[in-house]
Structure 1
Amino acid sequence: MDLVKPARSYYTVHMTLAFFLGHTPALSLAEIHAVCARRGSRIAVQAWTPEVLLADVEGGEGEEGFFSSLAGVVKIAEMTARIPRAPTADDVRALLPPTSRKIFFGISSSALQPGARPAPAKKLGFAVKEVLEEEGRSSRLVTSREDTLSAVVVNTNKLLSERGAEIVILSTRGGAFLGRTVWVQPYDDYAARDMGRPQRDARAGMLPPKLARMLINLALGADGSGSARARTPAGALLDPFCGSGTILQEASLMGLHRLIGCDRDGQAIKRTHMNLQWLSSLTPAMRASNFSLTLKCVDVRTLPAQLGAGTIEVIVTEPSLGPPLTRMAQPDEARRMREELHGLYRDALHACAQLLAPGGRVVMVWPVWRTPQGNVPMDAEADAAATGLRVVDPLNFAVNPLPDERHGFWAARRSLLYQREDQFVMREIRIFEKA
């Protein structure tokens, strides 16, 4: 095998990594780039599909928290070999852990290029078992109905333990990349913070913790020119529509020190306070950290006078998405809801522009209504231009081909789309910066 580099611990200066993307690939790509920029890392995309991104990552500080900071990535593999042919059982065997005990292993296989054929994961796995049996080694092959093992399967079958391994094969038209999974998303932790928190408001809409963390990462990432900008944890993060406190809870776990949550609904402030107290009781690191939390029951329009102009570095928020829908809206209904919310969003952007320090960033979620005749979005760009905020392209780096709306990137609007099939209102993620 032609080694990309020697196998090593995965927190290193230079890595060739396979990022398995979440259900909105464009959002995952944007988050990876933003986190790399914040760390001062250089990322060079080799190839990507809606399932996986293969990239070289080099340099940067704080490698130990790199993987765990990503919420839009399901799992990560370090690719240590490239071969100019189809992989064999011996190729896979060479990547298994050197233990004399029983080995647990699985194989995930994916095509990295159009026209490439994924390696037959199960067939290859059974061939590896035969090789191990000939060596007198005991093993257990972990399989699933899909060619790619899920993070749940990898974790529950101990494939990241000292005697476990998930071998990842990314096939190209002329060969394959091979490597081992080194990290899986802590899905149980996200589920606990979502479903286990004491205060939830289903009618007001609930921002998933994973999405909240992705929004924060976008806010802390590179500036509009694509260069890294140091938005330090010491800067203030504001959520002016804090609801149940999801953005604030994720920000506190990410090490941001100054958190401000506001909402004109007093019950929302109470829910946020209770949820943050609950989270603190479960998280020793959070109790020991020196972050400060300020909660205010105020209207967003009054915030510049209360907090002061130019005092906030980062704003991350999801205002009202309108009334919950049980069916797809008709075009006239969607336009009516858009008009009803326009004043709130316009005034919120105006307040954000006043609150932000120069170079500060706002990441805001906007509703897009699905109708039988097409999507009905809000006119965010015109309102932002009137305040002096500039649009940030979330995919302003070298990625080819460029994602489209199927992958969650609305190129004409330079925005990201987050949606589920059963939802009638999509989330459009817009990023703006203050010059």
Structure 2
Amino acid sequence: MFETLCVLGRQSGLSLVELESLFGDKNIKKIGNEAALLNINHNLVPFSRLGGTIKLCKVLTEINTTSWAKLTEYLVEHVPKHVCCIAPGKVKFGISVYGLNANPKAINVTGLKIKKASKSFNRSMRVIPNKSSELNAAQVLNNKMTDELGMELILVKSGSKTILAQTINVQDIDAYAARDQNRPKRDAKVGMLPPKLAQIIINLSQPKNGESILDPFCGTGVILQEALLMGFNVYGTDYQQLMIDYSNNNLEWLESKYKNKLEGLSYLLEPGDATSFEWQDFDKIACETYLGQPFSAEPKTDKLNQVIRDVDIIHKKFFKNLARQTKPGFKMCVAVPAWHTKSGIKHLPILDQLTDMGYTRMSFVHAKQKEMIYHRDGQFVGRELVVLIRK
């Protein structure tokens, strides 16, 4: 049986390809739209470097029903016995449900029944109430439900059965927010790359221990920052000296905040045009490229087509420049613009010419290419994640 369950992020396709890149497609089994099973012990999962997994859970058992009434009976019978094994003190308990026919009211009733049953074992319990079918990361984090006196149970529909798991770790949303918002230099004009997405991009490039990561469009240094925190040496270049200065300020700030974690690691920053620059040594590339002119709404067709042509030319020159500086087998992940128009998604034309330029675009078992576009509601320019290998 699979040992570990991952609760996936908002765009599950990106979460799945990240897991596939790290652990291999055969070690992953998708469960519904919000979870995946891993054939790996949870202690071996480097959770802090996963941008696309919200909760890491230990699989407890598989229950032969999806009926909420029967699941409630099972939980009321078995959970109090496990609560007895927890250290003395008041237990903080919660339930999150994925894919099952159970509304928040029904889940809260089940929680209170478990609380009542636990009293017969002389254990006090505080049940965290559900406002939706699942507790969010903030609720789990703020109520310390992964600590010694905490317990969040995860129930996920799997065909005609239900997987029961316990949350071991949850994304530290406060730490992500601090790394994103507290950096001294931010610039909305060049795009605000979320740290979680930066982690996914890095993981899709599949760097090995001791390797260095190049970001040739480093901007304010978000990918460099996250790669350093993962334990990699980094190398950043950018067309604008201002962005190099911003990255330098941000990485100096990072060093002051995470001095022990970054000990022994190094970073190099240089101004350089990615379409022509001669880089020093590097092992992998992870980057968000030039996204073009920012738009708050869809522009006129002629304007958009001109922007796409201009951006495409820059990418073509970049890929040509990179091809002559890399060897067969070199791997990278680049996030390129994808425009969400009323008539559909417009992609960079150069993506259809990558084979002729000496690259193979990787495909994945657990997600299609169309699922690898990071996009928020109301956002016109999305980011398409492209994993390439030099032929």
Q: Given the two structures, how large is their TM-score scaled by the length of structure 1?
A: 0.82
Q: In 2 relative to 1, CA 174–368 (structure 1 residues): closer, same or farther, beyond 3 Å? A: closer
Aligned pair partner of 1:55 in 13, 38, 48: 38
Letter in 1 for 2:38: A
Q: Could you say which residue in structure 2 is the equivalent of 1:70? A: 50
Aligned pair partner of 1:235 in 203, 207, 211: 211
Structure 2 unmatched ranges of 5 or more = none
Aligned pair partner of 2:23 in 9, 33, 36: 36
Q: Tell me the distance in 2 between the aligned counterparts of 1:145 and 1:18.
A: 23
8 Å CA contact retained: 1:106, 1:143: yes
Q: Tell me the distance in 1 between the aligned counterparts of 2:261 and 2:145.
A: 29
Q: How does 1:7-406 map to 2 (within 5 A)?
A: 16-37=3-24, 43-45=27-29, 47-57=30-40, 63=43, 66-85=46-65, 86-87=70-71, 88=73, 89-96=76-83, 97-111=85-99, 117-118=101-102, 120-220=106-206, 231-257=207-233, 259-288=234-263, 290-304=264-278, 306-307=279-280, 311-393=281-363, 395-396=364-365, 399=366, 403=367
Flag as ranges the 4+ runs of structure 1 deviating above 6 A. Answer: none
Letter in 2 for 1:261: G
1:276 partner SS: helix
8 Å CA contact retained: 1:117, 1:172: no
Per-residue Cα deviation, 1:58-114 (whole angstroms, up to 9, x for no partner): 69xxx5562222111111111111122332211333443533321110011122xxx
TM-superposed deviation, 1:330: 3.4
TM-superposed deviation, 1:187: 1.3
2:311 partner SS: helix
8 Å CA contact retained: 1:241, 1:319: yes
8 Å CA contact retained: 1:22, 1:72: yes
TM-superposed deviation, 1:434: 1.0
Aligned pair partner of 1:420 in 367, 376, 384: 376
Q: In 2 relative to 1, CA 377–421 (structure 1 residues): closer, same or farther, beyond 3 Å? A: same
Q: Tell me the distance in 2 between the aligned counterparts of 1:92 and 1:101.
A: 16
Letter in 2 for 1:16: E
Question: Which deviates the most, 137-146 or 354-363?
Answer: 354-363
Q: In 2 relative to 1, CA 355–108 (structure 1 residues): closer, same or farther, beyond 3 Å? A: same
Identity %: 28
Per-residue Cα deviation, 1:106-136 (whole angstroms, up to 9, x for no partner): 011122xxxx534842121111011012333
Structure 1 unmatched ranges of 5 or more = 5-14, 221-230
TM-superposed deviation, 1:287: 4.1
1:170 partner SS: strand
Letter in 2 for 1:240: P
Letter in 1 for 2:132: E
Q: Tell me the distance in 1 between the aligned counterparts of 2:348 and 2:296.
A: 21
TM-superposed deviation, 1:51: 1.6
1:355 partner SS: coil
TM-superposed deviation, 1:367: 1.1
Q: Tell me the distance in 2 between the aligned counterparts of 1:24 and 1:196.
A: 25
Count of residue pairs brought into register by the alignment: 381
TM-superposed deviation, 1:275: 0.3
Q: Given the two structures, how large is their TM-score scaled by the length of structure 2?
A: 0.91
Q: Tell me the distance in 2 between the aligned counterparts of 1:300 and 1:93.
A: 60
2:330 partner SS: strand
Per-residue Cα deviation, 1:350-404 (whole angstroms, up to 9, x for no partner): 12222323311121111111222222211233332232111111x23xx4xxx56
Per-residue Cα deviation, 1:25-54 (whole angstroms, up to 9, x for no partner): 1000000111224xxx96141x42222113
Q: Tell me the distance in 2 between the aligned counterparts of 1:330 and 1:149.
A: 42
TM-superposed deviation, 1:349: 1.1
TM-superposed deviation, 1:429: 0.9
8 Å CA contact retained: 2:96, 2:152: yes
Letter in 2 for 1:117: N
Letter in 2 for 1:420: R
2:379 partner SS: coil
Q: In 2 relative to 1, CA 201–106 (structure 1 residues): closer, same or farther, beyond 3 Å? A: same
Letter in 2 for 1:90: E
Q: Tell me the distance in 2 between the aligned counterparts of 1:368 and 1:30.
A: 18
Letter in 1 for 2:19: I
Q: Tell me the distance in 1 between the aligned counterparts of 2:41 and 2:121.
A: 38
TM-superposed deviation, 1:291: 2.0
Per-residue Cα deviation, 1:262-284 (whole angstroms, up to 9, x for no partner): 01100000000000000000002
8 Å CA contact retained: 1:366, 1:430: yes
8 Å CA contact retained: 1:334, 1:371: no
TM-superposed deviation, 1:303: 2.4
Q: In 2 relative to 1, CA 93–380 (structure 1 residues): closer, same or farther, beyond 3 Å? A: farther
Q: Tell me the distance in 2 between the aligned counterparts of 1:210 and 1:243.
A: 16
